[in-house]
Chain A
Amino acid sequence: MPDLRLDATVNGRKISRAAKPHQRLLDFLRDDLNLTGNKEGCGAGECGTCSVFVDGVLMKSCLLPVAKAQGAVIESVEALASTGELSLLQKAFHKMGASQCGYCIPGMVMAATAALRANPFAGREEIKERLGGNICRCTGYQKIFDAVELARDVQNGRLPATALGEIDAEQGDFIGKNVRRIDTPSKVSGRLKYAGDMTMPGMLHVQVLRSPHAHARIVSIETSAAEAMDGVEGVITSADVPGEDGFGVFVNDQPIMARGKVRYVGEAVAAVAAADLLTAKRAAAAIKVNYEPLPAVFDADDAMRAGAPVLHDYAPDNITKHIPIRVGDVEKGFSESDLVVEESYSTQAIEHAYLEPEAGLAYVDHDDVVTIVSPSQNITHHRSMLARIIAKPISKVRFIMSPVGGGFGGKEDMIYQGMLALLAMKTRAPVRLVFTREESIISTAKRHPSRTTLRMGLMRDGRINALQMTMICDGGAYGLSTEGVMRKAAILGAGPYAIPNVRVDTYGIYTNNTPSGAFRSFGALQTQFATESHLDICAERLGLDPFEIRRINAMRDGAITHTKQTLGSVSLLRALEAAEKASGWEAGSPVSRGDKRRDLDRADIRPPVSLGARFAGVDKQEAAE
């Protein structure tokens, strides 16, 4: 494999270095030059975390073969604050709070820089268009656009430089105040190191071998060919687990790597540590796993039927968790109601899609402490589980939480840290694993897909007399956070409404789908989608205003919920009032409005998305020609 000799100017410095022909510019900048400010979020040109300037033109470095940089002038995000002082745009991002997890922000700052270079007077719509190739998941785009507009106005002298300055807040007064994030400079400059940015001397790279089957018995795993390859330092399977295998948030039903059988496509079966990623990949491909496919089940209702394939011996009915709640007498409530409405609602699996794919670095330190650095959202729990799994006292296990490039619950599970620990112990070298976007999607938890059947009994005046809710969730192959999600769904599902008779059943079910787990709102989204949609339908049936039906049933200060929690204060009425006002709501039942909406075309309502802001003026010009 002949290396390339790459001559280029990178961030103002001339370089002349060997590069591999298959490297992308992104790999070369990050791995060879240690310029880790620009990130890899997708590797497919979709997200923009890797955007760099090539001869002054912004490009996605994950799409560029390194050879295309021959003779070019490259600027990565590190070039923007090369003197140590943040650029105008970086300061504006700081000022406007335009960074949360920060993982997309170096790319966003680069795209914003390109936008204002292309048009220093770009309006907000044009700014949006020019930043269209960059995705953010947690900061939110509005603050980012605000920041670009602020920088533009300061640059053009429409605002003074002091507009970028600190607002004086009263000492110790934070609530309701605009307080600057202290970590923003590290994020807008790309200086902050996420786990995938970290390296250690002698570090090995890890590749995981994953199951192509949804349900299969592992007859044998043959690793000798992989172990014999040059550059391979260690191969692990479940046989390498020294202690009691099994992790989870509520039930420890998931082995570090598949043990005896695989239960979903993408489940880890073996892992390789090697001197470089390509070698690790080739070694993983050389591992021979002999599978005996088993019947699989992909639907929660099917999994509950007698005779369905069983995933876990301990749960022959495939029920991960059932949460029942009973208050009053729902049957009596229904019989005394003027109207009973029953409907079904379903929601699908949702991927968290944080911009930072999972990554971790592990080593055994000088005191024999197995140390794992990763963006885990639950390091204390992981630490105690891992100690049991690797049969070490807890004092010999250490978890360090690296900056989390977006989590939303998706990084609560110890899905890969165990493999890192085992490989660090086996190879006695630092090991690093960085998921590809595809691996992240195929192997980590999703929001629970759900089917909710809702039956509600109401009086003619709108009061809810009884509610019966049954939610069946596809929990996938392992328990993860399913139990907690079922609990929260049951607790919050009936909504903030005072209902005398309530019967709720939530079920988390094992299937051979990708495991479901924690995701923002933790089960409340699924049930409340059902409850709130249902209330609109009931309002229509009763000829009531949807806001009104909610006010009638709203819990007040001091209410006791159906799980016996006393609520000191309830803000629902205030929230309803604010929502009604902000939305320009036309009072009345859903059927009373006629066929034309009157809330559209208002100045404070955003028009539909379109493209072509940069043609403003061109149309007129064309017409004139």
Chain B
Amino acid sequence: MLICENYLTPVTLGEAFTAMADNRGRCRVVAGCTDTFPWAREGRAGDVDIPVLIDVSKIPELNELRIDNKLVWLGAATPIQRFLDDAKLARALPCMPRCAVWFADDQIRAQATIGGNIVNASPAADGTPCLIAHEAEVELVSARGKRKLPLADFVTGPNKTVLEDGELLVAIECDALAGYGGSFEKVGHRRSLVISLVCLAALVKLDRDGRKIEDARLSIAGIGPRPLRLPDVEKFLKGSPLNAATLEEAADMPVALVASRTRQDYRRDVVHGFMLRGLVNAARRAGADASALAPELEAAYA
């Protein structure tokens, strides 16, 4: 059971920083709260007394959304469901709707925020690998000022980030990749409300004929303490022809990266399968030429 004496809902960044400073050491910052109550239960944190909860989800900067040709600026309190409901956002971030549909369920997605998913820093967080594939940078703001750093460097391990005391994750800035095909592959014990054992985000851009890979971006989570980008595979894919041989070779490359605490053999199999399926799905959605993908490859992994 979560017990608090005071629940504050600041409506400006200034109010939030004041509340955080006034209650230093006796407060917790929350947004969607979907992990807050389940955390304060038997078997996890148990009964917890947190004198002050500071809910930052009503602050305008955390709810902003700007999209231009190059960049998407996402307020940290953007609910996950928005990636499914907002067509313009979905086009700019082709991975995110595919990720969102596997994320918890429709109801939790309406409440859970992308910023919360990142700050929680679960090794299985679904949103993080997608955003890493979109070259995301996080904007951290405190009363002292602002700093920006790559999302890949923000998460340092399970439930660990470089967020400092008094600092808030305000926004995520990432590449707008309209025209890319996106996919998100995830495996867990059931369909809804499931934590990923492994998840993979893939983005593919093809040439005009849909036969050559112009750009590819890949990120994977659940195989080690934090999500990984796959630069070597991306480099190999860039400029390669879209065919079964290319994808098979690419699929083998990250298998050796599996460094999870458990079930490494299983995860190696999954990584190989997800690479193929993720790339096939992303390529298909990027307008792959029908003959470029061997039919058996498409049938097996689409």
Which A residues form the contact surface with B (CB < 8 A)? 1-2, 4, 21-22, 24, 43-46, 48, 51, 57-60, 62-65, 67-68, 70, 111, 114, 118, 129-130, 132-133, 278, 281, 285, 436, 438-439, 442, 609-612, 614-615, 619, 622-623, 625
A4 to B284, CA, bound (A): 53
Q: Are B105 and A133 in contact, with the CB atoms below 8 A?
A: yes
B233 at the interface (CB under 8 A from A): no
Shortest beta-carbon distance from B302 to chain A in Å: 10
Residues of A within 8 Å of B104, CB to CB, are 45, 133
Q: How far is the CB of A118 from chain B (nearest CB, A)?
A: 8
Known A2-B5, A44-B41, A436-B42: A63·B34 in contact at CB below 8 Å: yes
Q: Whose C-beta in chain B lies nearest to the C-beta of A278?
A: B3
* In the complex, chain B residues 1-54 whose Cβ is within 8 Å of any chain A Cβ: 1-7, 9, 30, 33-34, 36-38, 41-43, 47, 53
Q: How far is B101's CA from A46's CA once the two chains are assembled, in angstroms?
A: 16
| A611 B101 Cβ-Cβ under 8 A | yes
CA A70 – CA B11 in complex, angstroms? 13
Given known pairs A21-B4, A59-B111, A60-B107, the reply for A65 and B53 (CB within 8 Å) is: yes
CB pairs A–B below 8 angstroms (20 shown)? A22-B3, A24-B37, A43-B37, A43-B41, A62-B37, A63-B34, A63-B36, A63-B38, A65-B30, A65-B33, A65-B55, A68-B55, A114-B106, A132-B106, A132-B192, A133-B106, A133-B108, A278-B3, A609-B191, A623-B284
Using Cβ atoms and an 8 Å threshold, which residues of chain A touch B5? 1-2, 21
Q: Write the chain A residue with the least CB distance to B192.
A: A132
Q: Please, how many angstroms separate the alpha-carbon atoms of A611 and B33 in the complex?
A: 25
Q: Could you tell me if B102 and A132 are in contact, using CB atoms closer than 8 angstroms?
A: no
How many residues of B sit at the interface, in one of the four size bands? 35 or more
B62-96 vs A, Cβ < 8 Å mask (1 yes, 0 no): 00000000000000000000001000000000000
* Partner among B4, B6, B55, B191 whose Cβ is within 8 Å of the Cβ of A611: B191
Structural contact, B38 and A281, CB atoms closer than 8 A:
no
**Contact residue among B106, B179, B191 (Cβ-Cβ distance under 8 Å from A58):** B106
Contact of B98 with A by CB under 8 A: yes
A60: which of B3, B101, B108 is its contact (CB, 8 Å)? B108
* Secondary structure dominating the interface of A: mixed
Report B171-195 residues with CB < 8 Å from chain A CB. 179, 181, 191-193
How long is the Cα–Cα vector from A436 to B43 in the complex, in angstroms?
12
- Number of A-B residue pairs, CB cutoff 8 Å, is 121
B97: interface (CB < 8 Å): yes
Q: Which 9 A-B pairs have the closest CB atoms?
A: A133-B105, A132-B192, A44-B38, A438-B42, A21-B7, A67-B7, A133-B107, A57-B110, A1-B5
B230 CB → nearest A CB, Å: 23
Instruction: From A70, A114, A614, A625, give the contact of B9 (CB < 8 A).
Output: A70
- Chain A residue numbers with a CB within 8 Å of B102 are 611
Residues of chain B within 8 A (CB-CB) of A439 are 42
State how many angstroms separate the Cβ of B69 from the closest Cβ of chain A: 15
Would you give the shortest CB distance from B5 to chain A, in whole angstroms? 5
Task: Say which residue of A1, A21, A44, A57 sits within 8 Å of B37 (CB atoms).
Answer: A44
Who on chain A is nearest to B281 by CB?
Answer: A619
Interchain CB contact under 8 A, B192 and A63: no
Contact partner, A59, options B2, B9, B110, Cβ 8 Å: B110
Enumerate chain B residues within 8 angstroms of A614, measured Cβ to Cβ: 84, 101
A625 to B181, CA, bound (A): 11
Closest B residue, CB atoms, query A622:
B285
What A residues does B111 contact at CB under 8 A?
A: 59-60, 63-64
> How many Å lie between the Cα of A111 and that of B106 in the bound state?
9
CA distance A611 to B106 in the complex (A): 12
CA of A585 to CA of B283, assembled, Å: 39
A44, A46, A130, A614 pick with most chain B CB within 10 angstroms: A44
Q: Which residues of B contact A1 (CB under 8 A)?
A: 5-6
Further pairs besides A22-B1, A59-B110, A438-B41: 13, Cβ < 8 Å: A24-B37, A44-B38, A45-B38, A48-B105, A51-B107, A58-B110, A64-B111, A65-B30, A118-B106, A129-B106, A610-B191, A622-B181, A622-B287
Residue of B nearest to A107 (CB): B107
Closest residue on chain A to residue B191 by CB atoms = A609
User: Are the C-beta atoms of A68 and B3 separated by less than 8 Å?
Assistant: no
**B55 with A67: CB separation less than 8 A:** yes
B284 touches A615 (CB 8 A): no
Contact, CB under 8 Å: A132 / B41? no
Q: Which residues of B contact A609 (CB under 8 A)?
A: 191
Alpha-carbon separation in the docked complex, A68 to B7 (Å):
10
Task: Tell me, in angstroms, the Cα distance from A612 to B103 when the chains sit together.
Answer: 12
Residues of B within 8 A of A64 (CB): 33, 111
Shortest beta-carbon distance from A102 to chain B in Å: 20
Given contacts A1-B5, A63-B108, A63-B111, contact A612 B41 (CB under 8 A): no
Given contacts A611-B101, A614-B101, contact A4 B7 (CB under 8 A): yes
- Cα distance A438–B102 when bound, in Å? 26
